[in-house]
Structure 1
Amino acid sequence: MEKYDEKNKKIYVDADACPVKTEIMDLAGKYNIHVIFVASYNHTTGRTYGGEWVFVDTGKEEADLYIVNHVNKNDIVISQDIGLAGLLIRKDVIFITPRGKQYTEANLDTALQFRYLSAMERKGGKYTKGPKKFTDDDTLNFITNLEKILSKHAGELE
């Protein structure tokens, strides 16, 4: 593994179900930040969007494990997985969802509690609708918030 350097911040993307790959590459290009898309072999495609692609086994948590084992302090991770956020925020990793929500120490415990309660309801037989449809507003929110994160990082390096 390469030696960590603050200037070499990377973006890791849990790419299997990420709807904002193009937007990530556009912003990463603007700020000259290396992007690593992590996907299972089940999700190989001819369309790579650019960036570096790492393919992992098809197990449920394989992409998460790859990211956890390769991410460094102050890197950015883009994923919908709140459990992954719980592991990484404590390692001083910046975590943002494809809808633009940033998880921090301040809001993570509440999000994990809601996830737990929802799981208990499903286990008890209560039907839930699942996530709401991804919208243009979600994409705009993501772009806005990732731009703020990258702009702040660029300002800190100057």
Structure 2
Amino acid sequence: MSEHKSTVYVDADACPVKQEIIGITRAYGLGIVFVASNAHRKNTPDQGTWVYVDSEKEAADLYIMNHIKRGDVLVTQDIGLASLVLPKKVYAISPRGNVYREESIVTALDYRYVAAKERRKGNYGKGPKPFTKEDRETFCTAFEKILSEMAGEFE
């Protein structure tokens, strides 16, 4: 049986912590795959492997779902995508440092559903809070903890 080396997958189109992911992941020797739509193609991409997919709505999600494996890590703001990969025994975290877990993802999906229903009725909230320095620090702490726990499992 071949040993799978864990990879960090990043739903990269709107990810505000790419540089932090690169810096923290480098210390653990893991690969990074940034998945972005062609509409967000960079002339000089950051470090890591960049995969560009069609600009269709779910193209990045489909690529990630088809390539991510047990023991990998996903960084995404997409609760729906996180809910689909968690059963594969993947670690999933948001750029704000919220760690998605199977036992709590249903509640998050329920909130997302209710919010979408309200938007269809024309009731729009304030939108997401601005991304803060504290969000960045929370992400770094939680991401480092995940990678550290993973490193302990494979020693």
2:133 equivalent in structure 1: 136
Please give the TM-score of this superposition, normalised by the length of structure 2.
0.96
Aligned to 2:92: 95
Aligned-pair distance for 1:4? 6.1
Q: 2:30 aligns with which of 18, 33, 42?
A: 33
Give the Å deviation of 1:135. 0.4
* Correspondent of 2:76 among 73, 76, 79: 79
Alignment partner of 1:90: what SS?
Answer: helix
Which 4+ runs in 1 deviate beyond 4 A? none
Match of 2:105 in 1: 108
Q: How big is the shift at 1:107?
A: 1.1
- AA aligned to 1:120 is K
- CA deviations 1:93-137 (Å, max 9, x no partner) are 111000010110111011000000001111111121111100000
Conserved? CA contact 1:4–1:72, under 8 Å: no
Contact 1:95 1:102 (8 Å CA) reproduced: yes
Alpha-carbon RMSD: 1.2
38-47 vs 25-34, greater mean Cα deviation: 38-47
What's the counterpart of residue 14 of structure 1? 11
Unaligned runs of 5+ in 2: none
TM-score normalised by the chain length of structure 1: 0.95
Q: Unaligned regions of 5+ residues in structure 1, if any?
A: none
